[in-house]
Amino acid sequence: MKKLLLLSLLISASFYGQNTATAVIYRTRIFIDRQLTNKVTVTTNGNANHLSGSMFRMPLNYIDSIKKIIEEGVGKELYAVVDCQYLIKKNGKQKSTYNSGQYVGGLPKACKKKAIFSFEKENYVRLKIRINAFRGIQIGGPNLNYSRVRPYVFIRMKAYDELREKTYSKKIRVYDFEKLESIQYTLGAVSVRNSEIITPDQICAMLRKTFSKMSEKK
């Protein structure tokens, strides 16, 4: 009886493995609004200077975590085994996004045509992700006011086959995140805004939650 059960499990596993689709994420772009990462902003005559937090960069030790979240999220959508893959430049380095104050680096950055030519998969996935901020109503006067910033995440996902035909398209916007407080002081032509900011751990949690909501959306 045990042998028959083991044989049945092996056959099922083999069947499942042979019928699992494969997909590659060839391009991912993650934008983060500066309102969410800059603690102090000084505005003079309409020109904003981000004094604190302007050097925000997603720590490199978080990039692998972000890729794993993305791969798992896309895998659930496509019922596929998914991984991020990179084209290799002439100098031998991976072609990836640049890590700046508003964009997460270390993510795949290829075009569809080259991805299809370079990677043998059934699906080729492109992701556009924006972590934006919506500022609520300001309470107070012209010299001192208080407001709350509501972060939200937008994800657009598209998949293509080897003939470059679109096989999947979906987008979602999630607002269900904790609001951030912000206070602005104004003296003459100078305004100083002091705000709460989000951390890399919170960014990962927001991405994970949004992909979870995406899988629930029909």
Higher pLDDT: 4 or 57? It is 57
Per the domain annotation, does 125 fall within a domain?
Answer: yes
In our burial notation (b when 16+ CB lie closer than 10 A, e otherwise), range 25-44 reads: bbbbbbebbbbbbbbebebe
Per the domain annotation, does 140 fall within a domain?
Answer: no
> Domain range for residue 31?
21-36+57-133+150-177+200-216
Q: Give pLDDT, residue 46.
A: 59
Per the domain annotation, does 89 fall within a domain?
Answer: yes
Q: What's the domain count of the chain?
A: 1
Taking a C-beta distance cutoff of 8 angstroms, is the pair 94, 87 a contact? yes
Per the domain annotation, does 27 fall within a domain?
Answer: yes
Per the domain annotation, does 74 fall within a domain?
Answer: yes
One DSSP character per residue, 82-126 reads: EEE---B-TTS-B-B----SSB--SSBB--HHHHHHH---SEEEE
Per the domain annotation, does 2 fall within a domain?
Answer: no
Q: Give pLDDT, residue 44.
A: 78
Confidence of residue 100 (pLDDT cuts 50, 70, 90): confident
Higher pLDDT: 187 or 210? It is 210
Per the domain annotation, does 16 fall within a domain?
Answer: no
Confidence of residue 123 (pLDDT cuts 50, 70, 90): very high
* CA distances to 17, 173, 179 from 131, in Å: 35, 10, 13
The CATH number of the domain holding residue 210 is: 3.40.50
